[in-house]
Amino acid sequence: MHRRRLLEVLSSTIMTGFPAGGEAKTSSVVVAGAGIIGASIAFHLAKRGARVTVLEKLRPGSGATGKSFAWINSTFSKQPRSYYELNSLGIAGWRRLQLELGAELQVQWGGSVDWYPSGAEADELRRAVQRHQQWGYATHIVQEAEFHRLLPRISAGPLGVACFSEPEGTVDPMHALGVLLKKAQQFGARLEYPCEVTGFTLANDRVRALETTQGPIAADVVVLATGVDTTRLARLAGVNVPLKESPGVLAHTTPQERMLDRVALAPGAHIKQNPDGRIVTGSGFSGSPVTDTSKEFGVKLLRNASRFLARLKDVPLESVTLGHRVLPQDEFPIIGFCERCPNLYIAAMHSGITLSTLVGQLAATEILDGITVELLKPYRPSRFA
């Protein structure tokens, strides 16, 4: 960075932090990352009157968001109870946002149906349903007749146990992202891409400016919502954000007539249908080492899903995507300001789709009002300091 330009940047930004109840309209926030988390934070900040700039390395949704199965849920892997409750509020956040934005935001509610043949996995599913019922989740075991009413075109195979989780839904992640970015821009946010963050100008343990491929950009607060790149960028500010590798491959069909009204969680194949008719399927959410995006592997995924949805046998494959989930080392979200760099706000998490609307709301509260949201206490970056 040229010395003269650096002095201009430093003199233009007074890093005193936000007082509680500070005027949002005078707050300058740079959000690095235009995935679903960054877009939601930008929308909620801009709606409050903050001056927001969103920077994206390539194009919006080019990271994990565009390759997400995008299932909105607080189902059985969401443990302990505090994390289950966080995700339940995430579902409510999508309901709230849909009420706010109306028909412009398409969310497919209809729940999910999960099933296994008899065996250890079926026994574990029964226990998981009982636990979530005790926590107040609207899920229950279904018999064969109800299963076929919920998924009339699905052939389950041997049905040891099945359950229906009513509150859940799904979105087309790129559609939802586009709506959030459009609304953020209507509230005055600027979206800049391609614009890669290459470093930070630091002084007195604060970020004074971001160094980017488009030149330096000053900010009062910087939000890092850069997906799997968060570890590298946070390290430049002396902050540890440990993530682990978690790839996921999905097959996408061409648009089809309506086959599914809810998410189908078959043994070894998860299947959904977007509003535009495209069917999306993958083998699971656990993070497979498979990174094959060949047409042959996409056809294999469709063939696997066709064991349950026979009509997929003749459906053309449109694309195969490889996404790298933003999965923290301990598998829980990393959200909040950093002790080492108090005006750097981290937002890195799996369950990013489910949590995005809630995180956008809570992050805006913490950034603009100087409030520490107790709900986020277990998920602070300081646990990795």
Do 41 and 196 touch, CB atoms closer than 8 A?
no
**pLDDT tens for residues 13-56?**
333 334 333 344 447 999 999 999 999 999 999 999 999 999 99
Give the per-residue pLDDT at 138: 98
Number of structural domains found in the chain: 2
> What confidence tier does 8 reach under pLDDT thresholds 50, 70, 90?
very low
Whether residue 29 is found in the same domain as residue 102: yes
Whether residue 225 is found in the same domain as residue 297: no
Q: Taken in order 237, 239, 240, 243, is the CA torsion positive or negative?
A: negative
> What confidence tier does 5 reach under pLDDT thresholds 50, 70, 90?
very low
Whether residue 195 is found in the same domain as residue 237: yes
> What confidence tier does 59 reach under pLDDT thresholds 50, 70, 90?
very high
Whether residue 205 is found in the same domain as residue 280: no
* Mean pLDDT of all residues belonging to the chain: 92
Rg (CA), the chain: 22
Q: Is residue 16 one of the residues assigned to a domain?
A: no
- Lowest pLDDT segment from 26-35, 59-68, 375-384: 26-35
> What confidence tier does 287 reach under pLDDT thresholds 50, 70, 90?
low
Whether residue 292 is found in the same domain as residue 338: no
> What confidence tier does 3 reach under pLDDT thresholds 50, 70, 90?
very low
Q: What is the DSSP string of 17-58?
A: -PPTT--GGG-EEEEE--SHHHHHHHHHHHHTT-EEEEE-SS
**pLDDT tens for residues 159-174?**
999 999 999 999 999 9
Helix (H), strand (E) at residue 250: strand 247-253
Give the span between the Cα atoms of 364 and 320, in whole angstroms: 35
What average pLDDT does this structure show over 203-224? 96
Q: Which of 325, 340, 373 is the last residue of a domain?
A: 325
What average pLDDT does this structure show over 275-284? 92
Give the span between the Cα atoms of 180 and 91, in whole angstroms: 16
Give the span between the Cα atoms of 19 and 38, in whole angstroms: 23
Whether residue 98 is found in the same domain as residue 194: yes
Do 71 and 170 touch, CB atoms closer than 8 A?
yes
Q: Check whether 257 has a pLDDT greater than 60.
A: yes
Percent of the chain past pLDDT 70, that is, above it, reads: 92
Strand residues in 94-246 grouped as ranges (E):
108-109, 112-116, 139-142, 161-165, 169-170, 190-192, 197-203, 206-212, 217-218, 221-224, 243-244
Q: Is residue 1 one of the residues assigned to a domain?
A: no
Give the span between the Cα atoms of 344 and 220, in whole angstroms: 9
Quote the domain boundaries for residue 134. Answer: 109-167+245-325
Task: Show the tokens assigned to 342.
Answer: 């108090």
What average pLDDT does this structure show over 263-289? 88
**pLDDT tens for residues 315-332?**
999 999 999 999 999 999
Task: Show the tokens assigned to 375.
Answer: 């709900």
Whether residue 144 is found in the same domain as residue 270: yes
Give the per-residue pLDDT at 28: 95
Q: Check whether 207 has a pLDDT greater than 60.
A: yes
